[in-house]
């Protein structure tokens, strides 16, 4: 999946918390978020806040789908509230796809 496909996929599945997301989809969307935050940060705090709010739900959704892809539940994202939990999630987000079907009942991404 390339940059444009990942953005279209994540924004098209704006609030879809079921299914799976590949590593490339997750990380390309993460890069898109960083670029948007940098660009809107230059333009002002209000615009940056609106952009952050607009990208929050798709970011949580793709994070959940990425965790599903490695056989974990999306509720693990609550670790982000702890500070140190970011490093646990970062480790999981870089893991390869779980080859077996998981408890979410969907086949692995191709």
Per-residue tens of pLDDT for the chain, all 110 residues = 899 999 999 999 999 999 999 999 999 999 999 999 999 999 999 999 999 999 999 999 999 999 999 999 999 999 999 989 999 999 999 999 887 655 554 555 54
Q: What is the predicted pLDDT for the residue at 98?
A: 81
Burial 72-98 (b: 16+ CB within 10 A, else e): bebebbeeeeeeeeeeebeebbeeebe
The per-residue pLDDT for 1 is 86
The predicted model scores a pTM of: 0.85
CA–CA separation, 46 and 77 (whole Å): 26
Q: What is the pLDDT of residue 17?
A: 94
**Predicted local distance difference test score (pLDDT) of residue 110:** 47
């Amino acid at each position: 999946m390339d940059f444009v496909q990942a953005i279209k996929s994540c924004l098209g599945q704006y609030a879809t918390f079921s299914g799976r997301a590949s590593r490339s989809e997750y990380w390309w969307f993460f890069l898109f978020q960083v670029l948007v935050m940098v660009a809107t940060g230059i333009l002002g705090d209000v615009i940056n806040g609106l952009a952050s709010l607009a990208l929050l739900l798709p970011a949580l959704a793709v994070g959940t789908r990425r965790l599903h892809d490695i056989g974990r539940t999306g509720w693990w994202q609550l670790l982000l509230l702890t500070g140190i939990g970011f490093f646990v999630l970062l480790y999981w987000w870089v893991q390869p796809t779980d080859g077996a079907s998981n408890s979410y009942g969907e086949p692995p991404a191709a």
